[in-house]
Structures are given as C-alpha cells and as structure tokens.
C-alpha cells in the first residue's frame, strides 16, 4: 500500500518473493528557484526515509528531482555512469551528495543512447531539453537494471517525458502467481 511521507515523497514496499522486497520511493523535489532551506528539508526527509528501508530490500528511487547532474562522472563514477548530459546545477550537487552518501546510482546515466532518450523535460524559455527525472537504485543492484530511457510521445498530461526502466529480478509463484524468474519488466514514471 503506498504511504505518503509528505507532499513531495511517497513510498511503497512490494514483495519479490517470500523473503525479498523492493521499496519504491517516488519524489517531487523543490525546483532550483526554491529557497535552500526547502531543498535542505526535502533531502533531510528523503535521507530519513532511506534510512528506514531494510538493508536487504532492493530500492527504486524515482521521480522529478528538478536536478541536472551533468555529464562529468568524475564527481562520482560509482554513483553515475558515463552517459549524462549537460552541466550540473546546485540541485544536481545535492542529489549527487545523497547518492554518494547512500551508495546509490543514477541509472539514467548507465546506458549509451541518443540525447532525446536521455532528456525528460524541456525548459519553456530556452527550449533546451534536460535530464531532471531519474530512476536510482542501490549500487549493489545496478545489474538488475537493463535500461532506463525517456519515452517521447507518451501522452501523460504533463510537461515531462515518461521515464522507463527495464529491470530483471527473481520472484516466486506464491507472491505473483507466475514462474520463478521474471522476464524483463518495465517500471514507468511520469
């Protein structure tokens, strides 16, 4: 059952099999023009939520982070891949600090693809596309994610492009009614 933490963070915990779970955290971060205190409160609350997740759970941290993390993975080759886009902004610095602290990786940057598949939002004045929506997972589980990409043309009643990840995990019949090992499934976020 989804559980709202506040108006910017929601969580749910789903069984993969009898002993394994995935925790999904959906977020909507403050924009870059918000006061620093609002951003700090958001990331502190997100850190508190993350700390409450059982260590054995898989994690999908998804949402609109209103952050640009750039393409320079020298800031954290363990927390982002080599396929970012653009330059990092102040919200991106906050997000990368959180990723480093909790040993999670931005899956959007793991896969080589056209820029149009990386970006999720177009700035209204400049008309430039940016990557500000992310799907993040624990570094130890990064091999479970087989792709993450934007889906242009999906009608989602938003100014963002839908973001999709394909992930593979094991589950058992008692929780799903299907076989032991899953085919790649999609996690979609608007």
CATH of the domain spanning 3-189: 3.60.10.10
Question: Could you tell me the pLDDT band of residue 49, with boundaries at 50, 70 and 90?
Answer: very high
Among 50, 99, 110, residue whose Cα is nearest residue 75: 99
In this prediction, residues 64-83 reach a mean pLDDT of 75
pLDDT digits (tens, 9 = 90+) for 105-161: 988 877 677 766 666 656 667 767 566 788 899 999 988 888 777 766 656 666 667
- Predicted confidence at residue 182, as pLDDT, reads 45
pLDDT digits (tens, 9 = 90+) for 159-174: 667 677 777 776 545 5
- Which two three-digit tokens encode residue 101? 């602290």
Q: Give the residue extent of every domain in the chain.
A: 3-189
Whether pTM > 0.85 for this model: the answer is no
| Backbone φ and ψ of 36, nearest 5° | -55, -35
- Predicted confidence at residue 179, as pLDDT, reads 44
Q: What is the helix (H) or strand (E) element at residue 160, kind and residue range?
A: none
Number of other CB atoms surrounding residue 28 within 10 Å:
15
CA 130 – CA 89 distance, rounded (Å): 11
- Alpha carbon 187 to its chain centroid, in Å, reads 10
């Amino acid at each position: 059952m989804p559980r709202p933490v506040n108006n910017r963070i929601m969580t749910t915990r789903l069984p993969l099999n009898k002993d394994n779970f995935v925790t999904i955290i959906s977020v909507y971060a403050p924009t870059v023009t918000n006061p620093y205190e609002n951003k700090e409160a958001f990331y502190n609350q997100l850190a508190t939520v993350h700390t409450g997740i059982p260590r054995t759970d898989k994690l999908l941290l998804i949402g609109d982070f209103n952050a640009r993390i750039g393409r320079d993975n020298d800031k954290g080759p363990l927390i982002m891949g080599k396929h970012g886009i653009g330059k990092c902004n102040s919200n991106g610095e906050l997000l990368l600090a959180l990723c480093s602290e909790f040993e999670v990786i931005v899956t959007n940057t793991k896969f080589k693809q056209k820029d149009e598949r990386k970006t999720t939002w177009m700035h209204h004045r400049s008309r430039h596309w940016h990557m500000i929506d992310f799907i993040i997972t624990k570094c130890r589980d990064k091999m479970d994610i087989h792709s993450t990409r934007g889906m242009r043309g999906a009608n989602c009643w938003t100014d963002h492009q839908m973001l999709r990840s394909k992930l593979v995990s094991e589950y058992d019949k008692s929780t799903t009614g299907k076989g032991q090992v899953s085919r790649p499934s999609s996690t979609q976020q608007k």
